[in-house]
Amino acid sequence: MLESLIPVFVTFLVVIDPVGVAPVFSALTRGGSDRYRRRMACKGVFIATLILLLFLFTGDTLLRVLGISLAAFRVSGGALLFLLAIDMVFARPSGLRLATVREQEVAQYKADISVFPLAFPLLAGPGALTTILLTTSGLRPQEQPLLFLGLMGVLLTVLLLTLLCLLLAPQLMKLIGETGANVIDRLLGVILTALAVQFMLEGLRASLFGG
């Protein structure tokens, strides 16, 4: 089971990208007190956790209700993650993972940035939601309870790391700087590219050969 959870952990870590979100969070809360930053970080991660857990428990049911096959969703979801990876490699904020420039400008006029843009789309964005659906589609919690609990544990671990990165954002930025964060972002984007292609290949194989 551990072998199957490691790729999921890497995928969640790359898509949610705690280190990459930290400089954006630092910019959005610039000028605020330490108490304000802590409140925004805790509230934003809490709301994102609720959204992601909702998809974790209902994702497979959602696909069945909509009549979407697992193979079709693996191809389309892999394509979406591939576009997200391209954005990471070339540092283009398209809104798949990070807030766009316009969204960040709007957020500067809001006292509470925990829901938008922190919880969505920074943390529980389309990329993270797609990843959850890809990893839980076809999984029956009652048939594989340990694997399902493992997936939940992996997700909560990544979100805990994200919270720590947000709480330590000023210190983190002093340590690695914006350039260091961008380098890490690009490296993670390359890894996500391979994972996205793997999802698409699995979907195509299941669609064409039924396996």
Closest to 44 (Cα-Cα) out of 133, 153, 162, 172: 162
Query: Mind listing the pLDDT tens digit for each residue in 136-173?
Result: 877 777 778 898 999 999 999 999 999 999 999 999 88
- Residue 123: what pLDDT? 94
Taking each continuous run of H as one helix and of E as one strand, the counts in the chain are: 8, 0
Closest to 190 (Cα-Cα) out of 79, 89, 47: 89
* Confidence check: pLDDT of 96 > 70: no
| Helical ranges in 99-144 per DSSP H | 101-107, 126-136
User: What's the Rg (C-alpha) of the chain?
Assistant: 17
- The pTM of the full predicted model, rounded to 2 decimals, is 0.82
Query: Mind listing the pLDDT tens digit for each residue in 30-83?
Result: 888 999 999 999 999 999 999 999 999 988 788 888 888 878 888 988 898 898
- Residue 69: what pLDDT? 85
Q: Are 186 and 88 in contact (CB under 8 A)?
A: yes
Closest to 20 (Cα-Cα) out of 129, 158, 122: 122
- Residue 61: what pLDDT? 82
State mean pLDDT over 24-29.
87
- Residue 200: what pLDDT? 92
Closest to 64 (Cα-Cα) out of 146, 147, 139: 139
- Residue 89: what pLDDT? 85
- Residue 110: what pLDDT? 59
Task: Report the mean per-residue pLDDT for the chain.
Answer: 85
